[in-house]
């Protein structure tokens, strides 16, 4: 099964970096960011059909045409996209400006990571002279490692025994390096991942996050059902509710958390086939609710 059909561009990775898998509605936000990315990369307004084709080259999603149409409508409602002419869409000026600021920040992060790797590589493997040490590392080592290790890529940044296990995967990506330079290049790569520089962590984790998000978006419901059956039953969750959450659910006060509470209830209903959630209230919360209601 192909779950990730195309490489993500740096601009797409930067946009997807802001999508959190743990948040409700993450898949819609993922599609929205990919739609924005397609519109930003174009030199002229795009039709929904062209945008849909762009997305289908990146992730496998069912009903991509309808998914794209709903995303465009959301983005127009939020004034992120504008309909320049009938059926053709372009980013709003604020969207372009914010994207430009993110690109500058992403370029700064990559520049810092690149300078560090090239410095280490020059010391550890001075005889290794590709046209660009950084391009070789990014294309032939880092991105293949991310695709191979997945979430275990984080082990390379965390150090310890787990990092040693993950680093063994490096051997398979050094075939393009002259034999006499391989030990030095391996040391350079390992030192890069072990660095405490924030730009290294930021750059690597952005690549990892974008890759995992594209995988998660493409995972078909059948695969989720198979995973669920392999567990032997639905996932069990125990949630303890506080007073504010109860008041929000019951509509007894005006609070910014009201929408979050409603979203959680909706999410629990939508995942019932796979996740069984039991809600609990501790006696202290019951007493607090009772005292508050008695004062009304």
Pair 86, 114 in one domain: no
Q: Which residue in 204, 40, 8, 215 sits closest to 109, CA to CA? A: 204
Interval 205-224: pLDDT, tens: 888 877 777 666 665 555 55
Confidence of residue 156 (pLDDT cuts 50, 70, 90): confident
CB 261 within 8 A of CB 245: yes
Highest mean pLDDT: which range of 28-37, 56-65, 241-250, 286-295: 28-37
Q: Give helix 93-124 / helix 198-218 axis angle, nearest 10°.
A: 120
Pair 113, 208 in one domain: yes
Interval 269-292: pLDDT, tens: 777 766 778 888 888 878 887 887
C-alpha to C-alpha distance for 200 and 177, rounded to whole angstroms = 22
Pair 142, 210 in one domain: yes
Interval 171-204: pLDDT, tens: 677 877 888 988 999 899 889 988 889 999 889 8
For 116, the token pair is 């560090």
Q: Mean per-residue pLDDT for 139-161?
A: 74
Confidence of residue 268 (pLDDT cuts 50, 70, 90): confident
Last residue of a domain, one of 44, 62, 95: 95
For 152, the token pair is 């275990």
Average pLDDT, the chain: 78
Pair 136, 182 in one domain: yes
Number of structural domains found in the chain: 3
- Report yes or no on 145 lying in a domain: yes
Give the residues across from 46 on adjacent strands.
Answer: 89
Pair 189, 161 in one domain: yes
Q: Which long-range contacts (CB under 8 A, 24 or more apart) does 192-198 make?
A: 192/113, 192/116, 192/117, 192/120, 192/137, 193/156, 193/157, 193/163, 193/167, 194/156, 194/159, 194/163, 195/116, 197/112, 197/113, 197/116
Task: List CB contacts of 110: < 8 A, sequence separation 6 or more.
Answer: 10, 199, 203
Interval 44-85: pLDDT, tens: 999 999 999 888 877 776 778 888 999 999 999 999 999 998
Pair 81, 130 in one domain: no
CB 228 within 8 A of CB 219: no
Last residue of a domain, one of 183, 216, 249: 216
Q: Is the pLDDT of residue 4 over 70?
A: no
- Report yes or no on 103 lying in a domain: no
Pair 208, 240 in one domain: no
Share of the chain above pLDDT 70, in %: 72
CATH code for the domain in which residue 25 is found: 1.10.10.10
- Report yes or no on 192 lying in a domain: yes
Pair 115, 177 in one domain: yes
Which of 73-82, 124-133, 170-179, 253-262 is predicted least confidently?
A: 253-262
**Which structural domain, as residue segments, surrounds residue 254?**
232-295
Prediction pTM value: 0.61
- Report yes or no on 222 lying in a domain: no
Q: What is the pLDDT of residue 3?
A: 37
- Report yes or no on 227 lying in a domain: no
- Report yes or no on 41 lying in a domain: yes
- Report yes or no on 148 lying in a domain: yes
Pair 113, 207 in one domain: yes
- Taking the CA atoms of 73, 88, 59 and 200 in sequence, report the sign of the dihedral they define: negative
C-alpha to C-alpha distance for 81 and 90, rounded to whole angstroms = 6
Last residue of a domain, one of 216, 245, 262: 216
- Report yes or no on 2 lying in a domain: no
């Amino acid at each position: 099964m192909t779950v990730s059909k195309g490489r993500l561009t740096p601009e797409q990775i930067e946009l997807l970096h802001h999508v959190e898998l743990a948040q409700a509605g993450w898949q819609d936000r993922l599609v929205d960011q990919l739609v924005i990315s397609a519109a930003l990369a174009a030199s002229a307004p795009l039709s929904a059909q062209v945008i849909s084709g762009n997305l289908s080259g990146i992730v496998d999603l069912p009903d991509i045409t309808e998914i794209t149409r709903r995303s465009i409508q959301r983005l127009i409602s939020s004034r992120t996209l504008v309909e320049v002419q009938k059926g053709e869409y372009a980013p709003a000026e604020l969207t372009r400006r914010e994207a430009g600021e993110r690109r500058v920040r992403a370029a700064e992060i990559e520049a810092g990571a690149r300078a560090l790797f090239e410095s280490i590589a020059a010391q550890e493997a001075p005889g290794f002279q590709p046209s660009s040490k950084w391009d070789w590392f990014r294309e032939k080592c880092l991105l293949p490692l991310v695709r191979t290790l997945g979430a275990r890529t984080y082990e390379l940044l965390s150090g310890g025994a787990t990092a040693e296990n993950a680093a063994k995967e490096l051997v398979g990506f050094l075939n393009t390096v002259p034999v006499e330079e391989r030990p030095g290049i391996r040391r350079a790569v390992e030192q890069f991942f072990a660095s405490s520089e924030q730009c290294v962590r930021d750059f690597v984790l952005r690549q990892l996050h974008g890759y995992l998000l594209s995988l998660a978006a493409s995972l078909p419901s059948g695969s989720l059902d198979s995973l669920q059956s392999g567990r032997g039953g639905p996932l069990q969750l125990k949630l303890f509710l506080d007073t504010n959450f109860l008041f929000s659910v019951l509509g007894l006060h005006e609070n910014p958390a009201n929408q979050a509470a409603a979203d959680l209830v909706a999410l629990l209903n939508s995942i019932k086939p796979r996740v069984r959630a039991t809600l609990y209230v501790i006696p202290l919360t019951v007493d607090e609710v009772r005292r508050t209601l008695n004062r009304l």
